[in-house]
Chains A and B, each alone.
Chain A
Amino acid sequence: MSNGTVAAAPADYLSTGGGLGAWWSSRDHKKIAMMFLGLITSAFLVGAIFAVYLKLRMAAGGAPDLAAYHKTMTMHGVAMVFLFLVPALPMVIGYFTLPLQLGARNMALPAFSQVSLRLYVLGLALVILSVFTGAASSGWTLSFGGGFMLVMGLGLVCMGVSWALTGINFLVTVHHKRADGMGFFQMPLTAWGLYLTGYLLTAAGFIFAITVFYLSASMSFGRGLFGPEASPLDWLNYFWFVTTPAAFFALLPAVGVISDMIAGISRKALAGYRLVVGAMIGLLALSFVTWGVHMLGTGQADVVSFTFAFFNLLTVVPVALIVFCWLSTLYRGAVLCATPTTFVVVFLINAGIGAVMGLFLSSLSVGSYLANTLFATAHAHYVMMGGVTTALLAGLHWWWPKMTGRLYSQGLGRFSALLYLVGLNLAFFPQIIMGAKGAPQGAFTADPSLAGLQTVSGIGMMVLLLAIVLIAVNLIRALLNGEEAGSNPWSASTLEWSTTSPPSADNFEARPTVGDPYVF
């Protein structure tokens, strides 16, 4: 691209549109994504503040106010799972990259993007409001009735509808907005992950909204239409039928993001591209038939537990295929030595530990023993903080030069990635050991034999938070006065790197030419 065309280029999306009001009323997918990034970070901070309270309370020992403790635990889980982890990748990475990767000017349904964002804001406000109007102490699985309030329920209903609208938006965008000549098998894998997630978001989002609506209505008005107290096994089935795929809202885009990054940092075509697509479709299918592994020992028939454990273990086949393709891509690649590479390695370690922990929980005798212990808590945190959040951070460090047009400090980036790895493992590996010792999930226990492990875990959480602060400082500093990134700082191949950084409001000046996604 010559200097002449740069001078004539339209203004980028960050410098058009001015004030907050203009951003709020914008339907540009990039602005929607950046607003989601701000909101989702706020939700994360809310969840993190509750987590800090829980750790400090545990460290202080003595006799706590148990009602406050369990309400805080409930709010920590609800904020982190439903407001941060489930929507983070689709809403931030998804809204930003999907049209760019497809060579489109915007999402197919810009009004849906906007309504989805506004429902998220409303839901977030209602959930935070519920802390003040009477916090729920239901646990994040909402499986215990006491104190489950209408306000939080309505907030979660907004979330469910927001997910579903985004899902429909992804599906229609992929079907109608691909650049001329781009077939399904010329789509980059991030776009594939988002497309498949579109099905999950649509199905699970609506079911989640309806289920939570019935639940909160029956609890608030005392009619046992539906809910854990009226029919406990039915409630568990509905809840896990929805939330098991919900974990894959985050995991399928994560697979796509890491695949694109591995192809980009290796500067070669992703080995086994179609195999990875097939494996992702396999994961999508399996996500709908594995919910019962969350219900071992709850009174579901033994043969049912058996079947679910079997399906859950089947997920190793697609996962193994994907990992093999990643390793084959790195082999004899021209591998970039930069922050995104460090994040890919951190992802492999954290998500790898999270994945193999699933083997313990699916092994029926061991799983029945560990199911309600801190081992399960640690598993959830390795999958969510280790897998999903690491993938989100990796994606942010990969696309930040595209989002902002600026480069962040590589030294600080790599240091904070390693600090994140250390903090996460210090925080959650002790929980694996405590779980094996039988320490119960979600309880305030003043067990002196576990005090040392609790302290290590608490220190780990502080390190983890420090890493996140450093990451935020690095990225924000880049946005304010970072070095110009240029259109393609990583020499990557997919369409979003062919346009300016940050892109103009219309993304592309000319219709992009389309071939295979990974041609360097």
Chain B
Amino acid sequence: MDFGSLTGLVSVKPFLGAQGLSSWFPEAASEHAGGVDGAFLGILAAAAFAVVLVVGLAMTFIRRFSRSDDTETGVDTGRLSYPLMGVFVLGAVALAGFSFYVGMDGFLDRTVAPYGAYEIDVTARQWDWDFTYPNGYVADTLHVAVGQPVKLVLKTEDVTHGLSVPAMRLSKTVLPGLDAETWFEATVADTFTLRSNRYSGEGYSTMQTALIAHGDGDFQAWLTAVSDIFAGRTLEEVGELLYSTKGCKACHSLDGSKLVGPSFKDVYGNTFDTREGVQVTVDDAYVKESILAPNVSVIAGYEPVMTPYEGNITDREIEAITAWLKTLSVHTPADAAGQEEN
């Protein structure tokens, strides 16, 4: 059911006018907003009627039946009027039932994201946000595409936080240790305020960033552009970045200490014995083989346990790692049989 239509149903709009309506809400920029606004205005009309009725009756009776002197007593009208009481109580139940009913669909709708929704991981901490896209790119603002349902999977690294985007009528609390999920679909391409609405300590008021809704394929273009790690970096810097993001650092140290795998310090250009008893010199070809098929030729003293990266890394990224390894080694590139970097 479309609760946006309730606005018309309870005839609030003609009374308040477009000006009045816009003063109640922020811009409505999600498919979900209309339902929330309609339900809100419906309850507002019914609730205002109830308060005016009760206060109006009370004031009328006080004025109409005012005491003329201190000896006058009220007229005991005997038993309560049960039919009137029934109408009154049923009216109140109807008011509550109406409020419950108009809020139900919009709530149930939020509980399960549509199949195929674009998933973005949200990490909250004191006092900022990380948004992680499916390709692993991490941003401090939330970017989405207009017309595409987006599922947010929230977690917090410290205390309880609340994520709120008023324009989307979106609000979700995330507690430590309890991941939360919600979803929304932007309908307007614009930049909106995204902020925390759950008190989280002294920096709470500054925990604010932006939701940027992109139209017409701009979202993919944005993601591709920002995800290009080569833009604005030298080859060596990209190699260093990949060392962190591709998981190398879990097993390879930079200071010569022995972890699961050999350290990257002074490894390039050096010569080792392999487990098979062959001597190898670490050159460009050996680096490439050790990334794509690492367990074929393993340096003596280590187990063949590394995950092959075949299919998960590009040649250009391997070049970057190779260039970076050279900067970590005292063995000059000329010692190796590789080609000069450019």
B103-111, B128-136, B221-229, B303-311 - interface stretch? B103-111
CA distance A439 to B193 in the complex (A): 11
- Would A372 and B173 count as touching, CB distance under 8 A? yes
Q: Tell me if B12 is interfacial: C-beta within 8 Å of chain A.
A: no
Contacts of B166-207 to chain A: CB distance below 8 A: 166-167, 169-178, 180, 195-206
- Would B197 and A440 count as touching, CB distance under 8 A? yes
Please give, as numbers and ranges, the residues of chain A lying within 8 Å of B84 by CB-CB distance: 324
B71-79, B145-153, B244-252 - interface stretch? B71-79
Q: Decide yes or no: A332 and B197 within 8 Å by CB, A228-B160, A313-B99, A349-B55 being known contacts.
A: no
Q: Tell me if A316 is interfacial: C-beta within 8 Å of chain B.
A: yes
Q: Tell me if B314 is interfacial: C-beta within 8 Å of chain A.
A: no
Q: Tell me if B61 is interfacial: C-beta within 8 Å of chain A.
A: yes
User: Which chain A residue has the least Cβ–Cβ distance from B87?
Assistant: A324
Q: Tell me if A233 is interfacial: C-beta within 8 Å of chain B.
A: yes
Total interface residues on B, using CB and 8 Å? 87
CB distance from B211 to the nearest CB of A (A): 12
Q: Decide yes or no: A323 and B100 within 8 Å by CB, A66-B205, A137-B202 being known contacts.
A: no
- Residue interface bits A244-285, CB-to-B below 8 A is 1, else 0: 000000000000000000000011110110010000000000
A27-35, A85-93, A334-342 - interface stretch? A334-342
Name, among B62, B177, B199, the residue most crowded by chain A CB atoms within 10 Å (CB to CB). Answer: B199
A13-21, A100-108, A355-363, A395-403 - interface stretch? A355-363
Contacts of B60-74 to chain A: CB distance below 8 A: 61-62, 65-68, 70-74
Q: Tell me if B215 is interfacial: C-beta within 8 Å of chain A.
A: no
The A contact surface, by secondary structure, is helix
CA distance A368 to B71 in the complex (A): 54
- Would B73 and A268 count as touching, CB distance under 8 A? yes
Choice from B61, B160, B197 contacting A331 with Cβ under 8 Å: B61
Choice from B61, B162, B203 contacting A66 with Cβ under 8 Å: B203
Please give, as numbers and ranges, the residues of chain A lying within 8 Å of B26 by CB-CB distance: 437-438
CA distance A309 to B106 in the complex (A): 14
Q: Tell me if A418 is interfacial: C-beta within 8 Å of chain B.
A: no
In the complex, number of A-B residue pairs with CB atoms less than 8 Å apart: 268
User: Which chain B residue has the least Cβ–Cβ distance from A360?
Assistant: B43
User: Which chain A residue has the least Cβ–Cβ distance from B3?
Assistant: A365
Choice from B43, B67, B196 contacting A366 with Cβ under 8 Å: B43
- Would A333 and B164 count as touching, CB distance under 8 A? no
- Would A365 and B110 count as touching, CB distance under 8 A? yes
- Would B89 and A324 count as touching, CB distance under 8 A? yes
Q: Decide yes or no: A359 and B75 within 8 Å by CB, A139-B199, A433-B24 being known contacts.
A: no
Choice from A328, A335, A368 contacting B80 with Cβ under 8 Å: A328
Contacts of A153-212 to chain B: CB distance below 8 A: none
Q: Decide yes or no: A317 and B93 within 8 Å by CB, A268-B74, A360-B99, A442-B204 being known contacts.
A: yes
Q: Tell me if B36 is interfacial: C-beta within 8 Å of chain A.
A: yes
Q: Decide yes or no: A366 and B55 within 8 Å by CB, A335-B61, A359-B47, A520-B74 being known contacts.
A: no
Q: Tell me if B18 is interfacial: C-beta within 8 Å of chain A.
A: no
- Would B100 and A334 count as touching, CB distance under 8 A? no
Choice from B51, B169, B203 contacting A356 with Cβ under 8 Å: B51
- Would B166 and A437 count as touching, CB distance under 8 A? yes
CA distance A368 to B97 in the complex (A): 17
CA distance A327 to B59 in the complex (A): 10
CA distance A319 to B102 in the complex (A): 22
Q: Tell me if A287 is interfacial: C-beta within 8 Å of chain B.
A: no
- Would B43 and A349 count as touching, CB distance under 8 A? no
Please give, as numbers and ranges, the residues of chain B lying within 8 Å of A359 by CB-CB distance: 43, 46-47, 95-96, 99
CB distance from A398 to the nearest CB of B (A): 15
- Residue interface bits A422-448, CB-to-B below 8 A is 1, else 0: 000000000001001111111111000
A125-133, A215-223, A295-303, A456-464 - interface stretch? A295-303
A4-12, A42-50, A142-150, A471-479 - interface stretch? A142-150
Please give, as numbers and ranges, the residues of chain A lying within 8 Å of B47 by CB-CB distance: 356-357, 359-360
Choice from B62, B105, B178, B206 contacting A365 with Cβ under 8 Å: B105
Listed from nearest, the 10 A-B pairs whose CB atoms lie closest are A438-B166, A365-B106, A268-B74, A363-B103, A364-B107, A320-B92, A356-B47, A333-B74, A440-B197, A330-B61
13 interchain pairs, CB-CB under 8 A: A137-B201, A228-B160, A229-B159, A267-B73, A271-B77, A302-B111, A332-B77, A335-B66, A359-B96, A366-B40, A373-B197, A436-B25, A442-B204
